[in-house]
Structure 1
Protein backbone atom coordinates (compact mmCIF):
# COMPACT_ATOMS: atom_id res chain seq x y z
CA UNK A 1 0.00 0.00 0.00
CA UNK A 2 2.83 2.42 0.91
CA UNK A 3 4.59 1.68 -2.41
CA UNK A 4 1.44 2.51 -4.37
CA UNK A 5 1.11 5.85 -2.56
CA UNK A 6 4.73 6.74 -3.35
CA UNK A 7 4.20 5.91 -7.03
CA UNK A 8 1.07 8.06 -7.08
CA UNK A 9 2.94 10.97 -5.47
CA UNK A 10 5.76 10.65 -8.01
CA UNK A 11 3.23 10.72 -10.85
CA UNK A 12 1.59 13.81 -9.38
CA UNK A 13 4.97 15.54 -9.09
CA UNK A 14 5.82 14.57 -12.66
CA UNK A 15 2.51 16.01 -13.87
CA UNK A 16 3.15 19.25 -11.98
CA UNK A 17 6.66 19.43 -13.45
CA UNK A 18 5.42 18.87 -17.02
CA UNK A 19 2.67 21.44 -16.61
CA UNK A 20 5.24 23.91 -15.31
CA UNK A 21 7.48 23.27 -18.30
CA UNK A 22 4.60 23.88 -20.68
CA UNK A 23 3.77 27.11 -18.86
CA UNK A 24 7.39 28.26 -19.03
CA UNK A 25 7.54 27.53 -22.75
CA UNK A 26 4.32 29.44 -23.39
CA UNK A 27 5.47 32.44 -21.36
CA UNK A 28 8.80 32.51 -23.15
CA UNK A 29 7.03 32.54 -26.50
CA UNK A 30 4.74 35.38 -25.44
CA UNK A 31 7.74 37.34 -24.16
CA UNK A 32 9.34 37.48 -27.60
CA UNK A 33 6.16 37.54 -29.68
CA UNK A 34 5.13 41.17 -29.40
CA UNK A 35 8.19 42.95 -30.83
CA UNK A 36 8.21 41.07 -34.16
CA UNK A 37 4.53 41.96 -34.61
CA UNK A 38 5.31 45.63 -34.10
CA UNK A 39 8.32 45.35 -36.40
CA UNK A 40 6.16 43.88 -39.17
CA UNK A 41 3.69 46.79 -38.91
CA UNK A 42 6.37 49.48 -38.86
CA UNK A 43 6.88 51.52 -42.03
CA UNK A 44 10.08 53.34 -41.11
CA UNK A 45 13.25 51.33 -41.81
CA UNK A 46 15.00 52.89 -38.80
CA UNK A 47 12.13 51.82 -36.54
CA UNK A 48 12.21 48.27 -37.91
CA UNK A 49 15.96 48.07 -37.32
CA UNK A 50 15.62 49.45 -33.79
CA UNK A 51 12.90 46.93 -32.91
CA UNK A 52 14.92 44.04 -34.32
CA UNK A 53 17.98 45.15 -32.31
CA UNK A 54 15.83 45.59 -29.21
CA UNK A 55 14.46 42.07 -29.52
CA UNK A 56 17.98 40.67 -29.92
CA UNK A 57 19.09 42.58 -26.81
CA UNK A 58 16.12 41.31 -24.81
CA UNK A 59 16.73 37.69 -25.83
CA UNK A 60 20.43 37.95 -25.04
CA UNK A 61 19.73 39.60 -21.66
CA UNK A 62 17.03 37.09 -20.75
CA UNK A 63 19.13 34.05 -21.61
CA UNK A 64 22.09 35.47 -19.72
CA UNK A 65 20.02 35.51 -16.52
CA UNK A 66 20.47 32.59 -14.19
CA UNK A 67 17.96 29.76 -14.73
CA UNK A 68 16.29 30.65 -11.41
CA UNK A 69 15.78 34.26 -12.47
CA UNK A 70 14.45 33.18 -15.86
CA UNK A 71 12.03 30.79 -14.21
CA UNK A 72 10.90 33.49 -11.76
CA UNK A 73 10.03 35.88 -14.58
CA UNK A 74 8.34 33.22 -16.67
CA UNK A 75 6.19 31.99 -13.79
CA UNK A 76 5.25 35.58 -12.90
CA UNK A 77 4.34 36.46 -16.48
CA UNK A 78 2.37 33.27 -16.87
CA UNK A 79 0.30 33.76 -13.71
CA UNK A 80 -1.70 36.50 -15.42
CA UNK A 81 -4.93 35.18 -16.88
CA UNK A 82 -5.35 37.88 -19.52
CA UNK A 83 -2.88 38.49 -22.32
CA UNK A 84 -3.08 42.26 -21.68
CA UNK A 85 -1.89 41.71 -18.13
CA UNK A 86 0.95 39.46 -19.28
CA UNK A 87 2.06 42.07 -21.81
CA UNK A 88 1.91 44.81 -19.18
CA UNK A 89 4.05 42.74 -16.82
CA UNK A 90 6.62 42.13 -19.55
CA UNK A 91 6.75 45.83 -20.39
CA UNK A 92 7.06 46.75 -16.72
CA UNK A 93 10.02 44.42 -16.14
CA UNK A 94 11.71 44.87 -19.51
CA UNK A 95 14.46 47.18 -18.25
CA UNK A 96 15.04 45.03 -15.19
CA UNK A 97 15.71 42.04 -17.48
CA UNK A 98 18.12 44.13 -19.57
CA UNK A 99 19.89 45.13 -16.35
CA UNK A 100 20.36 41.45 -15.45
CA UNK A 101 18.25 41.65 -12.32
CA UNK A 102 15.83 39.08 -10.99
CA UNK A 103 12.14 39.68 -10.40
CA UNK A 104 12.34 41.02 -6.84
CA UNK A 105 15.69 42.78 -7.15
CA UNK A 106 16.13 46.55 -7.17
Structure 2
Protein backbone atom coordinates (compact mmCIF):
# COMPACT_ATOMS: atom_id res chain seq x y z
CA UNK A 1 0.00 0.00 0.00
CA UNK A 2 1.33 3.46 -0.86
CA UNK A 3 1.98 5.79 2.03
CA UNK A 4 -1.05 7.84 2.93
CA UNK A 5 -0.93 11.57 3.48
CA UNK A 6 -1.87 12.81 6.92
CA UNK A 7 -5.25 13.99 5.62
CA UNK A 8 -5.96 10.65 3.96
CA UNK A 9 -5.05 8.84 7.16
CA UNK A 10 -7.30 11.06 9.26
CA UNK A 11 -10.14 10.61 6.78
CA UNK A 12 -9.79 6.82 6.91
CA UNK A 13 -9.69 6.79 10.70
CA UNK A 14 -12.82 8.92 10.84
CA UNK A 15 -14.66 6.85 8.23
CA UNK A 16 -13.83 3.67 10.13
CA UNK A 17 -15.04 5.26 13.37
CA UNK A 18 -18.25 6.45 11.68
CA UNK A 19 -18.92 2.94 10.37
CA UNK A 20 -18.22 1.31 13.73
CA UNK A 21 -20.30 3.84 15.67
CA UNK A 22 -23.27 3.60 13.32
CA UNK A 23 -23.33 -0.13 14.03
CA UNK A 24 -23.09 -0.17 17.80
CA UNK A 25 -23.63 3.38 19.19
CA UNK A 26 -20.77 2.89 21.68
CA UNK A 27 -18.23 5.65 21.01
CA UNK A 28 -15.40 4.21 23.11
CA UNK A 29 -15.75 0.69 21.72
CA UNK A 30 -15.96 2.15 18.22
CA UNK A 31 -12.75 4.11 18.74
CA UNK A 32 -10.93 1.09 20.19
CA UNK A 33 -12.03 -1.03 17.23
CA UNK A 34 -11.06 1.74 14.80
CA UNK A 35 -7.53 1.80 16.20
CA UNK A 36 -7.19 -1.96 15.95
CA UNK A 37 -8.63 -2.14 12.42
CA UNK A 38 -6.37 0.67 11.21
CA UNK A 39 -3.01 -0.77 12.18
CA UNK A 40 -2.05 -1.33 8.53
CA UNK A 41 -2.51 2.35 7.67
CA UNK A 42 0.64 3.61 9.41
CA UNK A 43 3.62 2.00 11.18
CA UNK A 44 2.82 3.97 14.35
CA UNK A 45 -0.52 2.17 14.64
CA UNK A 46 0.89 -1.36 14.38
CA UNK A 47 0.36 -3.47 17.46
CA UNK A 48 -1.50 -0.68 19.23
CA UNK A 49 -4.21 -2.05 21.48
CA UNK A 50 -7.24 0.21 21.23
CA UNK A 51 -8.48 -0.41 24.76
CA UNK A 52 -5.03 0.20 26.23
CA UNK A 53 -4.79 3.46 24.29
CA UNK A 54 -8.18 4.58 25.60
CA UNK A 55 -7.24 3.74 29.18
CA UNK A 56 -5.15 6.92 29.35
CA UNK A 57 -8.42 8.87 29.04
CA UNK A 58 -10.41 7.13 31.79
CA UNK A 59 -10.55 10.30 33.88
CA UNK A 60 -12.50 12.00 31.06
CA UNK A 61 -14.88 9.20 30.10
CA UNK A 62 -17.74 10.15 32.38
CA UNK A 63 -19.55 12.13 29.69
CA UNK A 64 -23.02 11.43 28.34
CA UNK A 65 -24.11 14.33 26.18
CA UNK A 66 -23.41 13.69 22.47
CA UNK A 67 -21.52 17.00 22.11
CA UNK A 68 -19.23 16.09 25.02
CA UNK A 69 -18.66 12.61 23.61
CA UNK A 70 -17.76 14.16 20.25
CA UNK A 71 -15.21 16.48 21.89
CA UNK A 72 -13.70 13.52 23.72
CA UNK A 73 -13.49 11.41 20.53
CA UNK A 74 -11.84 14.31 18.68
CA UNK A 75 -9.35 14.80 21.54
CA UNK A 76 -8.52 11.10 21.53
CA UNK A 77 -7.99 11.10 17.78
CA UNK A 78 -5.76 14.18 18.06
CA UNK A 79 -3.72 12.41 20.72
CA UNK A 80 -3.50 9.33 18.51
CA UNK A 81 -2.26 11.35 15.53
CA UNK A 82 0.18 13.46 17.58
CA UNK A 83 1.63 10.58 19.63
CA UNK A 84 1.54 7.58 17.31
CA UNK A 85 1.60 9.01 13.81
CA UNK A 86 3.49 12.25 14.52
CA UNK A 87 2.56 15.44 12.79
CA UNK A 88 3.53 19.07 12.64
CA UNK A 89 -0.12 20.10 12.38
CA UNK A 90 -1.48 22.09 15.28
CA UNK A 91 -4.10 20.62 17.57
CA UNK A 92 -6.57 23.22 16.30
CA UNK A 93 -5.97 22.23 12.67
CA UNK A 94 -6.32 18.54 13.52
CA UNK A 95 -9.49 19.25 15.49
CA UNK A 96 -11.07 21.07 12.55
CA UNK A 97 -10.11 18.32 10.12
CA UNK A 98 -11.35 15.49 12.34
CA UNK A 99 -14.54 17.38 13.16
CA UNK A 100 -15.18 17.77 9.44
CA UNK A 101 -15.00 14.01 8.82
CA UNK A 102 -16.93 12.75 11.84
CA UNK A 103 -20.64 12.20 11.46
CA UNK A 104 -22.88 13.59 14.21
CA UNK A 105 -22.82 11.50 17.37
CA UNK A 106 -26.39 10.48 18.15
CA UNK A 107 -27.35 7.69 20.50
CA UNK A 108 -30.88 7.18 19.21
Output the TM-score relative to the length of structure 2.
0.31
Q: Higher helix proportion, which one?
A: 1
Output the TM-score relative to the length of structure 1.
0.31
Bigger Rg, which one: 1
